Amino acid sequence: MTEAEKFAEMTKDELIKILDQLQDEKKEQAQKDNASVYERLSKVDVSKFVDKKNGLNYLSWAKAWGLVKSIFPDASYKLREYPYYTQTADGNYQQIGTHDYLRTEYGVEVEASVTIKGETYSSKLYVMDFHNRALDPKKVTYFEINKTQMRALTKALAFAGLGLNIYAGEDLPSSDEKTPQRKERVTEQELIEKARKSKTQYGGGNELVTDIVGLEIDGDKQANAFLNQWCEKDQKNKNLYKFIIKNQLATHGMKVGA
């Protein structure tokens, strides 16, 4: 029996049911397509992809990148290129190329950025030892630089939402291509409580971010302008703002212009 014949034998109610199901599937797909990068990646359960070493949980950069590419095939990443100069005979400096790292008097700096659906997330790190101290820039090897670049990539993906809720936050270096994570998962309620207590400098005082977001929602242009600049200043600020909006944590009652 052909598909056309099957449809011909269906009752009106059966056809309506199929059409309703197709509409529901279409709406669900549209919601997935329109979901923000953070909303989609923050829902990925990375706990099943972590490895253990020395009692700590790690998410390798390869697994993290593979997860992102499986959801956003067009995602791309790059390592920052820093200008490299040499001194000329007349005492001036001339750029002769670039390096994907920067040696400074404080240490060796690297930066990785990820672009997903037109949004870019970046992370800057120094090559560090196991005590979270920057290594002597004169002794750092490219092997150590490469490991730090991959850690920066994984952290940039965390800023985009992948596994952000279980990251330890202290950015301890590892002896392989893996980024350390917290032993225990942070609960949703703990994240909410932390967001409620978060403060920033605003209007001459140290104010709750939830209050400022509440002002913006109430139509305060000053709060809106401040939050736009605040989110652009740091990806962590932007993620906190999105979390507050998503979980409806904005508070009201703060005086306009405070």
CB-CB contact of 81 with 97 (8 Å): no
The DSSP symbol for 106 reads: S
Taking CA atoms, 117 is separated from 25, 28, 57, 132, in Å, by: 23, 19, 29, 33
Residue count of the chain, please give it: 258
153: number of Cβ within 10 Å: 27
Q: Per residue in 217-258, pLDDT tens? A: 888 888 899 999 999 988 889 999 998 898 889 887 665 544
pLDDT band at residue 168 under the 50/70/90 scheme: very low
Between CA 81 and CA 101 the distance in angstroms is 7
Residue 27: its pLDDT value, please?
Answer: 65
Q: Provide the token pair at 28.
A: 């669900």
**Cβ proximity of 179 and 61 under 8 Å:** yes
Specify the pTM: 0.53
pLDDT digit string (tens) for 183-203? 445 677 888 888 889 999 887
CA gap 164, 160 in Å, rounded:
8
Q: How far apart are CA 227 and CA 111, in angstroms?
A: 25
Q: Which helix (H) or strand (E) holds 151?
A: helix 142-159
Residue 42 has pLDDT above 70, yes or no: yes
* 53, HSE (Cβ side, Cα atoms, 13 Å): 15
**Is there a contact between 170 and 126 (Cβ–Cβ < 8 Å)?**
no
Closest by CA position to 213, among listed 205, 203, 223, 228: 223
The pLDDT tens digits of the residues spanning 108-162 come to: 999 999 999 888 999 999 999 877 789 999 999 999 999 999 999 999 998 898 9
Which ranges in 160-256 belong to alpha helices (H)?
Answer: 188-197, 209-217, 221-233, 235-246
Helix or strand holding residue 52 (H, E): strand 51-53
Q: How far apart are the first and last CA of the chain?
A: 73
Give the whole-angstrom CA distance, residue 164 versus residue 157: 8
